[in-house]
Structure 1
Amino acid sequence: MQYVELVAILAVLQFFFFGFMTGQARRKSGLKAPAITGDDGFERMYRVQINTLETLVAFLPAIFLAGKYWPSLLVAGIGIVYIIGRFIYWRAYINDPAKRGIGFMLSMIPTFVLIALALVGIVLSLITAKA
């Protein structure tokens, strides 16, 4: 389970890194809080941060639940794909938001796979508990 926990905390640290980068973009742009529009570079980084937060809401419970029922190396490996996908998404969104699709899919597909693994694991455990 430690591999799953490691990947989960790396995903949280990645989110904090994106938050730091958003702060850097705000300083560079000169935008004063609470403004979130007015500078394209800041807006792109802000969207990366917020979209990552939105995906973490599904990713974190999915990875922990899947890790409860399936081998931790398998689950952690799927989680690493999510983290790599988020970095690809970040780089693409900063350079050209229209090209963010691969990074987005590399973070969404692993999340859906983890959700499916968690669901199957839960159902199988319910079935075997009644037998």
Structure 2
Amino acid sequence: MANLPLTALTTLFIVLLLFGVAAAVGVARKRHDIRAPAMTGHPEFERACRVQTNTIEWTLMVLPCLWIAAAFVGDGIAAVCGSVWIGARVWYAVAYRRDPDSRGTPFLLAALAFGALGLIAGFGVMRALLGG
């Protein structure tokens, strides 16, 4: 792992993103006095919950592709794609919290970054399987 420092740093930023969206849920819960275990209430709270859930869902797919791409193709390319994904997810979180209808462009950008990671990872694995 010591030869994949950029991917490791990118992973730490993903963890920071997950912490941030979780904290936003907590802040919205407190601001609108929504007691656990309730998951509905004020629209601001519901948007924060949806951003967190969606980010977790995508993170579960992004992380394996990120590390496979790094291991089989390269640290730099994986970190660049991962960083684009993180930036798009931050943009998505801000856009969704302000106006859910404005989340389309950052969602698409994040999906494209994930797709690139998946293709790069798949290419690297296939190349290794075929002896390249």
TM-score (norm 1): 0.95
Structure 2 letter corresponding to 1:67: A
1:16-27 correspondence runs (5 A): 16-27=19-30
CA distance in structure 2 between the aligned counterparts of 1:107 and 1:32, rounded to whole angstroms:
32
In the other structure, the counterpart of 1:61 is 64
Instruction: Report % sequence identity.
Output: 33
Residues in 1 aligned to 2:77 and 2:69: alpha-carbon distance in whole angstroms: 10
| AA in 1 matched with 2:49 | Y
Instruction: State which of 88, 92, 111 in structure 2 corresponds to 1:108.
Output: 111
Greater helix share, structure number: 1
Q: CA offsets, 1:53-102, max 9 Å, x none?
A: 00001000000000011221121011110000011101110111011011
Residues 88 and 102 in structure 1, CA contact (< 8 A), matched pair in contact too: no
- Distance, in Å, in 2 between the alignment partners of 1:29 and 1:100 is 23
Letter in 1 for 2:29: R
Query: Residue 102 of structure 2 corresponds to which residue in structure 1?
Result: 99
1:41 has 2:44 as partner: yes
Q: How many residues align?
A: 129
- Is 2:66 aligned against 1:74? no
Secondary structure of the equivalent of 1:128?
coil
Deviation at 1:123, TM superposition (A): 0.7
TM-score by length of 2: 0.94
**Partner Cα separation in structure 2 for residue 58 and residue 117 of structure 1:** 14
For the 8 Å contact 1:84–1:106, the answer to whether it is kept is no
Which portions of structure 1, spanning 4 or more consecutive aligned residues, are displaced by more than 2 angstroms?
none
Name the amino acid aligned to 2:89.
R
Could you tell me how far apart the structure 2 residues matched to 1:107 and 1:55 are? 9
Using the alignment, how far apart are the partners of 1:102 and 1:91 within structure 2? 12
In the aligned structure 1, how far is the partner of 2:15 from the partner of 2:53? 13
